[in-house]
Chains A and B, each alone.
Chain A
Amino acid sequence: MSIEKYTRSFLKEVEERVEEGHWVKMCMQCGVCAGSCPLGAHWEHTPQKIFMMIRAGKREEVLSSDSMWMCTSCYQCIVRCPRKLPITHIMHGLAYLAKREGLVPKNQPTAQFGQLFWDNLVKTGRVNELKLSLGMYFKDGFSQGIKNAMAMQSVGLGMMKAKRLNPMEIMGGHGIKDKSGFHAMLKKARELEDSRRKLA
C-alpha cells in the first residue's frame, strides 16, 4: 500500500484504515477522556491529544507512539465521552495499524504480548496459558527468560498447587476440534479486512 495517497490527510487515512476511525472527527477536545486512563501517567499523548494530532496530520508521531499500547481496555473513556466516541476501539485500531505499518516502538511489551496471545489462540482455537506465559518470559532470549521465569516462580508454583496452572499444558493442552475450518475462517477474515482497509 502506498502511503502517498494519504500524505495530505492522515485523518482520511484513519477514517478508512482504522477500526472505528470514522469517529475521530467527532471529538470536540473536551479532555474528559484524557483523565480517564488507569495508566495515565505513562501515556506520552492522551487520547484527546492523539485525536488532535491525527487532525494535524502527525502520522509518524502518532503511529510510532507508545501511548496506544498503554490502553488497558477499561472502557472508562467510552462511558464518559460526551460525544460517545468508541475511544478504546480507536486506540486498539491505531495500535494495530502501527503494527501493520511496522511503526511500533521496538520491544514494546504489550505489542509483543498481544501478538503472542493472538498466535497462541490461533494455533488451537483456545488460549494455552502456560505456553503464553513462557513465550512472554522467553521473548528476550534464553537467559533473560530463565531470569524472568525465576522471578515469577512463586506465582507459578502457587498456581500449580491450586491446580490453576497445568504443567502438562506444554504437551498440547486444550483446543477445538475443527481446527482446519477455524484456520480457514481466520485466513479469510484477514484477507477480507486487509483488502477493505488496504493493509496488505
Chain B
Amino acid sequence: MAKKQYSFYPGCSSQSGASSSNYLTSTQSMVNLLDVALNEIPDWNCCGASIGYAGGGELPRVALSARNLALSEQHNPGQEVVATCAACWLATREAKERLDHSATLLAETNEALKEAGLVFKNEAPPARHMVEVLIEDIGYETLKSGVKKPLEGIKFAGYVGCQTNRPFGIDGESFENPMYLDRMVESMGGEAITNYDQKVTCCGGALAFSEPEKSQKQIHDIIESAYDHGADMIVTPCPLCQANVEIYQGEVNKRYGKKFNIPVTYYSQLITVAYGGSSKDAALDGQIIRATRLEEIANK
C-alpha cells in the first residue's frame, strides 16, 4: 500500500474528455511516482465553482460541498480531502468554514443532506490543495531528491492565478508574491522566472467565457509578461487558469494583433517528466499548444 492516503476530489473539469483531463492524467502519474494514493470520493458531485452563485444561492451551494464531504467521511474515514482544482478546493474549504461558523447553516445543510440519506459530521480537517500535499507533506527537498531528468534550460513563468492563492492561499506564502510554484520549478531543475509580475493576475475566471472582450485583456497581459521575461512556457496549478490562458491565445492574437503561441502546463506534468515519466504519462498529448521542450526531455 502507498505511504500516504488521501480522499480525492477530482472535479468535473478533470473527467475524461473534459477540459483539464490532462491535469488528472498527469496527477495520477505524479502520485504513483511519489508513492501517494488518491482514493476518489465515490459518487462525488460538482462543487458549483464560484459562478454557481448566480443560479444556486448560498445553502444549495454549501450543500453541494457538504455532500462530497459527507461521502468522504463515510467512505474514506480519517483521510484528508485533497483537490487538484483551485475552485473545487476553495468551494470545499469555504463551505466547511461557513458550516463551522453557523449552527443554522449546519442544521439546514444536514436537513437537506438527509434527503440524500447522508449526514455531515464535520470530523475531517479543511480540504487541502494538491500543492500543499507536495510542499508540506512531502517537502521540496524530498521532491528534489527523486528527480531523474532535471528540466534543465527551460524557463518557466509560474502563473499562480487567484483561487489557489486567495483567500486561503498556501501557508507561509504572501498573497501578492507567492513563491511556491517557483520553488517547485527549481526543485525539478527548471529555471523559474521569479520576477514574473503577472503571477497572481486574474485571468477572468468564468467571465473569460461570458465576457470575452472584457477578460481577454487579462489573458493578454498574463501572456505578454511571460514573453517579456523570456519564458519558454507557463506553468500553473489551476485548471481554469490553464484553459483560459492556453485556449484563448488565438482569440487574443486576433484582438490584439499578436503572435502568442506559448505552452501552458501543469506542475504535475513537470514533476512527472522530471521523475522519468513518458510524454503520455504526463499527458503532454493533451496540450493544444505543444510543450515541445518538455516532450524532448520526456523522450530522452
Cβ-neighbour of A74 out of B53, B63, B166, B288 (below 8 A): B166
CB atoms of B108 and A192 under 8 A apart: yes
CB atoms of A187 and B115 under 8 A apart: yes
CB atoms of B13 and A176 under 8 A apart: no
User: Closest CB of chain A to B260's CB: distance in Å?
Assistant: 14
Among residues 179 to 200 in chain A, which have CB atoms less than 8 Å away from a CB atom of chain B? 181-182, 184-190, 192-193, 196, 199
Question: How many B residues, CB 8 Å from partner?
Answer: 68
Is A145 at the interface (CB under 8 A from chain B)?
no
Among residues 96 to 122 in chain A, which have CB atoms less than 8 Å away from a CB atom of chain B? 96, 99-100, 109-115, 117-119, 121-122
Is B286 at the interface (CB under 8 A from chain A)?
yes
CB atoms of B52 and A114 under 8 A apart: yes
CB atoms of B51 and A114 under 8 A apart: yes
Q: What 0/1 pattern do residues 37 to 64 of A give for CB contact below 8 A with B?
A: 0110010000000000000000000000
CB atoms of A113 and B285 under 8 A apart: no
Cβ-neighbour of B115 out of A115, A165, A181 (below 8 A): A181
A187 to B116, CA, bound (A): 11
Is B21 at the interface (CB under 8 A from chain A)?
yes
A79 and B117 in contact, given A114-B52, A117-B54 (Cβ under 8 angstroms): no
CB atoms of A166 and B17 under 8 A apart: yes
- Chain B residues near A122 (CB, 8 Å)? 55
A174 to B167, CA, bound (A): 30
A163 and B207 in contact, given A79-B167, A111-B54, A115-B54 (Cβ under 8 angstroms): no
CB atoms of B53 and A127 under 8 A apart: no
A188 and B19 in contact, given A96-B57, A117-B49 (Cβ under 8 angstroms): no
Cβ-neighbour of A127 out of B13, B162, B169, B214 (below 8 A): B13
CB atoms of A74 and B162 under 8 A apart: yes
Is B163 at the interface (CB under 8 A from chain A)?
yes
Is B247 at the interface (CB under 8 A from chain A)?
yes
Interface centre among A121, A125, A181, A185 (most CB of B within 10 A): A185
Is A155 at the interface (CB under 8 A from chain B)?
yes
A73 to B162, CA, bound (A): 8
A109 and B162 in contact, given A185-B115, A186-B60 (Cβ under 8 angstroms): no
A185 and B251 in contact, given A19-B57, A39-B204, A162-B286 (Cβ under 8 angstroms): no
Is B48 at the interface (CB under 8 A from chain A)?
yes
- Chain B residues near A11 (CB, 8 Å)? none
Is A30 at the interface (CB under 8 A from chain B)?
no
A95 to B250, CA, bound (A): 32
Give 11 new A-B contacts, CB below 8 A, not counting A181-B116, A192-B112: A42-B211, A42-B214, A74-B205, A79-B166, A110-B206, A112-B210, A113-B51, A117-B51, A126-B46, A185-B112, A189-B59
A-B contact pairs, 10 of them (CB 8 A): A73-B206, A74-B205, A79-B169, A88-B50, A155-B247, A174-B12, A181-B117, A182-B67, A189-B109, A192-B59
10 nearest interchain CB pairs?
A114-B54, A118-B55, A166-B17, A181-B116, A73-B50, A92-B53, A75-B166, A184-B115, A74-B202, A113-B210
